[in-house]
Amino acid sequence: FSTAAALEEPITPPVNIEHTKLLINGQFVDAASGKTFPTLDPRTGLLIADVAEGDAEDINRAVSAARKAFDEGPWPRMTAYERSRILLRFADLVEKHAEEIAALEAWDNGKPYEQATGDEIPLFIRLFRYYAGWADKIHGLTIQADGPHQVQTLHEPIGVAGQIIPWNFPLLMFSWKIGPALACGNTVVLKTAEQTPLSALYVAKLFHEAGLPPGVLNIVSGYGPTAGAALCSHMDVDKLSFTGSTETGKIILELAARSNLKPVTLELGGKSPFIVCEDANVDEAVELAHAALFYNQGQCCCAGSRTFVHERVYDEFIEKAKARALKRVVGDPFQKGVEQGPQVDSEQFDKILKYIRSGIDSGATLETGGQRFGSNGYYIQPTVFSNVQDDMLIATDEIFGPVQTILKFKDINEVIRRSNASPYGLAAGVFTQNLDTANTLSRALKAGTVWVNCFDVFDAAIPFGGYKMSGHGREKGVYSLNNYLQVKAVVTRLKNPAW
């Protein structure tokens, strides 16, 4: 593997930490308990900052601020055009401060700074501009019903949205949740992931500079079983949206059901197939399959984590996939040219190394990698397994790390069956030059997204979400508006039906 920087001496990130408190009703405040929790630098495991630790009491405060902003405040009553202008001004401010925001993201999460500036921030900005465009184009229908009635539908915001996000793309997840919720006129209480609380607090301040009224967006940093669970159980929260593990998704749904039956959007785990067909250009397929798995240190819910390769190109593919992994540049996320930083924390680091051991023990062939990288922080060598069988844990479980598992297949019906034999159904990749193969696979694969000859295309207008245990509902695009609107039918009797 190439290393671009001495890992022992981390580079100083180009940003100061200004916001570590909770954001409630437009103010940065301490937690009611006065408690804080540490957010750590994945490069070293050392402290970045102590952050206010919200719990049930702070969730209560944040929900009442959001409730008031919805029931009495200007937000749902503003013209949609005014709301749209605030979203646009916010996007401009994020663009202006892109480098500091990206630095916070890279520091807290461990992702390469160049990926934060080059991928995540532009997608974030684009998404807010996209939903700003929707804000004043949301409207109902006029319906021809039987009988003497004038019938119309009103598309109304639901109310207070509780949103819980993970640590792998803290900013992108912020945008997917907040963008449509606010465009539709809802107010929000967001719980960020305990591993990565910093970037959301920074951008939330910019949102208020852009003119967002107090209470419309509240942010409670803290842990899942305390702050997160309190948000899910709250009787005054009208809607939940969650991105995270399937295991936690089940808890969220249960808490929602046991409290006030609030509707829930879930975006959960995956074990997405990436299928390399016999006609594939192997060099291109290797590069795309590599990116599909290793991007963001392998910490993507949609990672192409089962690489199915046709037997005719299998041996060549393995050699080249191994060579590509060996060339992957691992190093300090703030070093130029780095492709892979550390995993987010010690828990993920240990879990991934455990899966690697299980792969070796179950008889898969370790082509390269398999160890920690360096001796400091949570870096892991880019790892490739070949000769992987469907029932091995590394082929069934979400590893969420830089571990490529390569499986051999013979024919298209077989690969369809094996791809679909998973409780997950988030995404799939198909690599072929044959239109018929592409169409057959696109239709047969049970996944919320099928990327053909591409992967990880995250345009704001394209819906994203899961089949099966990968989730409920779709985010992004026009589809996400449905998550944050409810439909009221207004039926008015006509006195003179002749007209």
**Beta carbons of 155 and 487 less than 8 angstroms apart:** yes
Q: Give the closest residue to 456 by CA, choosing from 322, 351, 302.
A: 302
- Residue 365 β-bridge partners: 386
The residue from 224, 304, 369, 377 that contacts ligand ADP (CB under 6 A) is 224
Rule CB under 6 A: is residue 80 a binding residue for ligand ADP?
Answer: no
**Nearer to ligand ADP (CB atom), residue 193 or residue 356:** 193
**Nearer to ligand ADP (CB atom), residue 202 or residue 308:** 202
Residue numbers 194-223 binding ligand ADP by CB under 6 A: 194, 223
> What is the nearest approach in angstroms of ligand ADP to the Cβ of residue 175?
16
Rule CB under 6 A: is residue 300 a binding residue for ligand ADP?
Answer: no
Rule CB under 6 A: is residue 248 a binding residue for ligand ADP?
Answer: yes
**Nearer to ligand ADP (CB atom), residue 352 or residue 412:** 352
- Residue 493 β-bridge partners: 149
Alpha-carbon Rg for the chain in angstroms:
24
Rule CB under 6 A: is residue 37 a binding residue for ligand ADP?
Answer: no
Tokens representing 14?
A: 């180009």
The residue from 14, 74, 225, 337 that contacts ligand ADP (CB under 6 A) is 225
> What is the nearest approach in angstroms of ligand ADP to the Cβ of residue 86?
26
> What is the nearest approach in angstroms of ligand ADP to the Cβ of residue 243?
7
Tell me the window of 51-59, 191-199, 304-312, 401-409 that interacts with ligand ADP (CB under 6 A): 191-199
Tokens representing 196?
A: 């990565």
Rule CB under 6 A: is residue 232 a binding residue for ligand ADP?
Answer: yes
**Beta carbons of 300 and 115 less than 8 angstroms apart:** no
**Nearer to ligand ADP (CB atom), residue 210 or residue 252:** 252
Q: How far apart are alpha carbons 221 and 104 in whole angstroms?
A: 15
Rule CB under 6 A: is residue 252 a binding residue for ligand ADP?
Answer: yes
Residue numbers 43-72 binding ligand ADP by CB under 6 A: none
**Beta carbons of 160 and 187 less than 8 angstroms apart:** yes
Q: How many residues bind ligand ADP (CB under 6 A)?
A: 17
Which DSSP string corresponds to 69-128? HHHTSSGGGS-HHHHHHHHHHHHHHHHHTHHHHHHHHHHHH---HHHIIIIIHHHHHHHH
The residue from 26, 157, 179, 244 that contacts ligand ADP (CB under 6 A) is 244
Tell me the window of 95-103, 241-249, 417-425, 469-477 that interacts with ligand ADP (CB under 6 A): 241-249
Q: How far apart are alpha carbons 193 and 116 in whole angstroms?
A: 17
Would you tell me how many other CB atoms lie within 10 Å of the CB of residue 281?
A: 15
Rule CB under 6 A: is residue 228 a binding residue for ligand ADP?
Answer: yes
Q: Give the closest residue to 43 by CA, choosing from 462, 341, 392.
A: 341
Question: Each residue of 337-358: b (16+ CB within 10 Å) or e?
Answer: ebbbbbbbbeebbebbbebbee
Q: How far apart are alpha carbons 274 and 307 in whole angstroms?
A: 5
> What is the nearest approach in angstroms of ligand ADP to the Cβ of residue 47?
19
Rule CB under 6 A: is residue 19 a binding residue for ligand ADP?
Answer: no
**Nearer to ligand ADP (CB atom), residue 225 or residue 337:** 225
Q: How far apart are alpha carbons 257 and 498 in whole angstroms?
A: 47
> What is the nearest approach in angstroms of ligand ADP to the Cβ of residue 339?
22
- Residue 471 β-bridge partners: 267
**Nearer to ligand ADP (CB atom), residue 228 or residue 425:** 228
Which H/E stretch holds residue 365? strand 365-368
**Nearer to ligand ADP (CB atom), residue 53 or residue 332:** 53
**Nearer to ligand ADP (CB atom), residue 367 or residue 398:** 398
**Beta carbons of 108 and 248 less than 8 angstroms apart:** no
Q: How far apart are alpha carbons 356 and 370 in whole angstroms?
A: 6
Rule CB under 6 A: is residue 269 a binding residue for ligand ADP?
Answer: no
Catalytic residue among 120, 267, 339, 367: 267
**Beta carbons of 384 and 367 less than 8 angstroms apart:** yes
The residue from 25, 245, 396, 434 that contacts ligand ADP (CB under 6 A) is 245
Instruction: For CA atoms 471, 472, 473, 475, give the dihedral sign.
Output: negative
Question: Looking at beta carbons, which residue is closest to ligand ADP?
Answer: 224
**Beta carbons of 488 and 142 less than 8 angstroms apart:** no
Rule CB under 6 A: is residue 191 a binding residue for ligand ADP?
Answer: yes
Rule CB under 6 A: is residue 251 a binding residue for ligand ADP?
Answer: yes
**Nearer to ligand ADP (CB atom), residue 75 or residue 176:** 176
Q: How far apart are alpha carbons 109 and 344 in whole angstroms?
A: 5
Rule CB under 6 A: is residue 239 a binding residue for ligand ADP?
Answer: no
> What is the nearest approach in angstroms of ligand ADP to the Cβ of residue 295?
16
Residue numbers 150-189 binding ligand ADP by CB under 6 A: 164-166
- Active-site residue, 18 included: no
Torsion of CA 86, 92, 93, 94, to 10 degrees: 110
Q: How far apart are alpha carbons 399 and 495 in whole angstroms?
A: 65
- Residue 380 β-bridge partners: 372
Residues in contact with ligand ADP by CB under 6 A are 164-166, 191, 193-194, 223-225, 228-229, 232, 244-245, 248, 251-252
As annotated, the active-site residues are 267
